[in-house]
Amino acid sequence: MTDLAQAGTAPLSDDGRPGRAAGRALRRAAPALLAYAGTRLLGLVVLAIWGAFADKSPHQLLSARWDSLWYTRIAEEGYGYTLHLPDGAVHSNLAFFPLLPALERVISAIAPLDAADAGLLVSSVTSLFAAWGIFAIGDLLYGRRVGVTLAVLWGVLPVGIVQSMAYSESLFTALAAWGVYAALTRRWLWAGLCAALAGLTRPVGRRSSRRSGWPPRWSCCPAVTGTRRGAHRGGCSRASCWRRWAGWAMWCGSPSAPEASPATSTCRTAGETASTAVWPSRASSGGC
């Protein structure tokens, strides 16, 4: 296994130029990125073929469906919109975190794209960075082959189509993956920055950053450092790390978790009525 302590203190490159180190890292990750891009391209081709038979617009399915409608409305009109459903439920766009709509707003202001297309651009770019980060973690811990496999597995997830939609999953995964990589290599400032940005992307990012803690907690944990050095310093043992993880996992799945708040599942629970109510001019008729 790679010595993570050495990896965290090694110079970025032999001549001290970060650009060359980044170039070498990108070349090393190229097989993973190409394989990941291939899986996503195959998914888009299948979607286009299905859309041709079902008389659906692939572009609309990717940019103007479900959560993407909420993000687009936030980017163009800001927060404060409330949706009243026929069953009496009230949903607010305050449940959607601000980083993605902020990026959509900025990009649509400086580029000839509307907010929905800006969301597609953000997802496309950050999905590649996410695959790169996932590869980097696998490569660091277990070698290049494992890194490539992890990147491809992420691309072929049954719900992987959201990585090509104007959703926040790709942005969040990129920040989470690189935050974990920064923590593994003891770059604590970058780890904290990625965790903070992830917390501005999705509710689970806020919980992840709070539970990950700062170096005093992480640096003694063999599950993070990959070594036994300092395993019991500060009372942290391998068993306690797994207990923390189990508690976190149970909290994520509990009904009281923030993700169970109405708006994060509005369109999925309310169906086409919610999509039409959020943005009537963009929501198509019929199911996805």
CA–CA separation, 3 vs 140, rounded Å?
A: 9
Closest CA to 42 of 155, 142, 149, 154: 155
Beta bridge partners of 90: 84
Q: How confident is the model at residue 14 (pLDDT cuts 50, 70, 90)?
A: very low
Please say if the pLDDT value at position 148 is more than 90. Answer: yes
Identify the residue with better confidence: 212 or 18. Answer: 18
Please say if the pLDDT value at position 39 is more than 70. Answer: yes
Mean pLDDT, residues 248-255: 47
| Predicted confidence (pLDDT) per residue in 258-286, tens digit | 443 333 333 333 333 333 344 444 444 33
Mean pLDDT, residues 105-117: 93
Please say if the pLDDT value at position 206 is more than 70. Answer: no
- Predicted model pTM: 0.69
